[in-house]
């Protein structure tokens, strides 16, 4: 067996409306309902399904916990433009820009938190040295 790519992941959230606002307004994802009243955040060819804490869909993680995720998203454009957008939206940056290593090589990254406290890394590929 060989894994090809990530299709979706699940975030357990305390307030889905606040989460959707953050991921759509701040990160530019698209909220799409599916199934029986469920919600997902789409970007590229992936999505994030949302579970409300205490109302998780079966099966689910052993200990579904809001704020336990550490996610890295590759962004289009420059980090300067991302920083300007975050500043305009009054979203505090925890760290960055800093150099990191991604799945396909060097990254330049900034870090922030979503409404549940999940760590969000926004990154661009760094040019080769």
**121 catalytic per annotation:** yes
121 - beta bridge partners? 72, 111
Retrieve residue 59's tokens: 């099966």
**Does residue 118 contact residue 69 with C-beta atoms inside 8 Å?**
yes
**Does residue 10 contact residue 51 with C-beta atoms inside 8 Å?**
yes
The catalytic residues are 121
């Amino acid at each position: 067996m060989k894994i090809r790519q990530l299709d979706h992941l699940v975030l357990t959230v305390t307030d889905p409306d606040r989460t959707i606002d953050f991921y759509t307004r701040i990160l530019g994802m698209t909220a799409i309902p599916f199934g029986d009243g469920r919600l997902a955040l789409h970007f590229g060819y992936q999505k994030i399904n949302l579970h409300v804490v205490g109302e998780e869909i079966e099966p689910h993680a052993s200990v579904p916990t809001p704020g336990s995720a550490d996610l890295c998203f590759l962004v289009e454009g420059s980090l300067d433009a991302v920083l300007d957008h975050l500043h305009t939206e009054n979203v505090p940056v925890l760290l960055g820009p800093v150099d990191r290593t991604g799945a396909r090589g060097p990254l330049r990254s900034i870090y922030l938190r979503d409404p549940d406290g999940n760590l969000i890394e926004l990154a661009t590929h760094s040019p080769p040295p």
